[in-house]
Structure 1
Amino acid sequence: MSGLASARQVSRPAALPWVPAVLLVLTAIAYPLTDAGGAVRDAVSWTIVLLGSTVSVVHATVSRGARTGGGVLLVTAATAVVFESVGLATGFPYGEYSYSDDLGPTLFGVPFLVPLAWLMMAWPSWLLAHRLTHGRAARVGVAAAVFAAWDVVLDPQMVQAGYWTWAHPRPSLPGIDTVPLTNLAGWLLAGLVLMTLLDLLVARTASGPDTGDGAPLLVLGWMTLGGAVAHAGWLGLPGSAAWGVLLAVPVLVALAVRARR
């Protein structure tokens, strides 16, 4: 009986991240079906980011403890504001860009939505790397690469929506002519810094039962592969769709090999 009660105690908090994760998937499906440039699509974008960041914080809390959950929120938000504010002021490390007013209130010129988007992306990237690797160096490197690869799909969509623009979008990846290669390099650098901090944070604060990583990995997979489908079928972004699939294949293969072992 005590074992059954313990399982129930674990299963209840484990289910919490699934609620915003499923809502995110449903909301993301609605994005390409709304009018471009309209208030409804802006609301959908905000909702996706808010739900995704909620998944990350709730999952980190229930799976690694409250100290880890709070730390993930603070570390990711602070790192995002530092990198983005420096990027806006100097053009380093992403290249010269500017945000539109559609993203709402800002801090040091950085819209509040941006650190939340980082939070939505960062924690699932670290979790995936944690599943695939052993050792801090490999984990940080893979997590940073996944973090940057995710943006390869998302950034063209956000530029298309008018949320930000690049002063010099070329040279760029083949098939994506609105986002410069400097942005990818910047995301890799930011990812290395952030994933190092997250790895140290988890090592020092994590406690409690591991409740599984399904919800944040669903967010990661849907926003990458689901985003690629939306780009190809509805948003007129075949280049980023192709890159999304291309970048996802090695990860899927690695996960399959890992599961078989």
Structure 2
Amino acid sequence: MDNRGSVSWNEATRTSIQRRLEALVRENRFTIAIVFPFVGAVSLVASAEGLLPESLAYNPLLLLFGTMVMRSPLLVGLLPRVGWWALGSLTLLTAYTYAIEIVGIRTNWPYGAFEYTIQLGPMLFGEVPLALPLFFIPLVLNAYLLTLLVLEDWSDNHLVRLFTAIGAVIAIDLVLDPAAVAIGFWAYIPPGGYYGVPASNYVGWLLSGTVAVVLVDLAFERTSLLERVRSCEFILDDLVSFVLLWGAINVLYGNWLAAGVAGLFCLGLFRTDRYDRDLLWQVLPSRAVGGRES
């Protein structure tokens, strides 16, 4: 039996779906990368300060929906490079993500003693969020992809690439954890010296970040991935959302060092030459630019 027609049809279908998803992201870049993190920051701070009704405060469905929308540029951008090998590597990373978090909750190692103070959606074994990979793995991917673009030719050096990406992952948590503690996502027992976060947490992130970066590096053929990152203008929009959301929360709570690290990520994004004033005009909804194109 000739399967060539079936294979061709599957490829055509995948290409068609990919183009539709890319068009959807492009048409809604401003909403995804700017509006959602702004609304998210306001709603999370309002939840933490008791300004929202109980039904809306820390609403897990809204949290998951908002996270999925903000992740969509990264996921759609990477989709053409996700083959069976990459899928297997990312599945292994998913399993590792659950395992290290469960170990952390049960043994206080390697992050130090901490506990989730709200439910971030359904909880696996009643201990860790079921959506944990959705929260963690894209952070690693963002750090890795930004590293490839910023390093340029230096990304050919295996050690430079890995060490820089691991450093970027830890820097992401220098932004994330203080803001998450401030709004009550989780708490460390006892609180640490970095806006409530202990140094042990970053030792843990060094371990988990190293494993995650190595698996991501193994998952993709680097030349092909770099070509995709360079050609897909929205693939780092998820990192833009991250910087706006968690950077804004750190500013509102006076976590100035953490906000400064978020600013460094802004500089890194600007260095990629894909985020500037002209781009902002391109992605603004037509009604917001007051007929600029007319």
Same fold (TM over 0.5): yes
Work out which structure has the larger RCO, using CA pairs closer than 8 Å and 6 or more positions apart in sequence. Answer: 2
Structure 1: distance between partners of 2:212 and 2:158: 13
Give 1:14 shift. Answer: 4.5
Q: Percent identity?
A: 25
Q: Structure 1 13/102 Cα, relative in aligned 2: closer, same or farther at 3 Å?
A: closer
Aligned partner of 1:219 among 238, 257, 264: 238
Tell whether the 8 Å contact from 2:74 to 2:237 is kept in structure 1 after alignment: no
> Structure 2 counterpart of 1:170, which letter?
G
Q: Deviations over 1:31-74 (max 9, x none)?
A: 23232234435244333322244443332212x14436634652
Alpha-carbon offset, residue 237 of structure 1:
3.5
**Match of 1:165, SS?**
strand
Deviations 1:125-180 (A, max 9, x none): 111122222232222221121112112112122212222110122243xxx2x111
Query: SS where residue 42 of structure 1 aligns?
Result: coil
Aligned equivalent of 2:8: none
Q: Which residue of structure 2 lines up, in the alignment, with residue 79 of structure 1?
A: 96
How far apart, CA to CA, are the structure 1 residues paired with 2:270 and 2:37? 25
Instruction: Say whether 1:167 aligns with 2:157.
Output: no
Matches within 5 A, 1:86-101: 86-101=103-118
Are 1:147 and 2:169 counterparts? yes
Q: Which has the larger radius of gyration?
A: 2
1:120 aligns with one of 138, 149, 152: 138
Of stretches 213-222 and 91-100 in structure 1, the one that deviates more from structure 2 is 213-222
What corresponds to 2:10 in structure 1? none
Question: What's the CA shift for 1:230?
Answer: 4.3
Structure 1: distance between partners of 2:169 and 2:182: 20
1:90 Cα shift?
Answer: 1.6
1:197 aligns with 2:197: no
User: Residue 72 of structure 2 contacts residue 238 of structure 2 at CA under 8 Å; is this kept in 1?
Assistant: no
- The number of residue pairs the alignment matches comes to 242
Pick from 28, 33, 48 the counterpart of residue 37 of structure 2. 28
Q: 1:41 to 1:213 in 2, by over 3 A?
A: farther
Q: Secondary structure at the match of 2:197?
A: coil
1:185 and 2:207 aligned: no
Q: Which ranges of structure 2 fall in alignment gaps of 5 or more residues?
A: 1-14, 274-294
Distance 1:15 1:229 in 2: 29
Matches of 1:200 and 1:170, distance apart in 2: 34
Deviation track 1:90-117 (CA, whole Å, cap 9, x = no partner) reads 2221111111342232224211132210
* Alpha-carbon contact 2:41-2:249 (below 8 Å) kept: yes
Closer/same/farther in 2, CA of residues 219 and 105 from structure 1, 3 Å limit: same
1:87 deviates by: 1.0
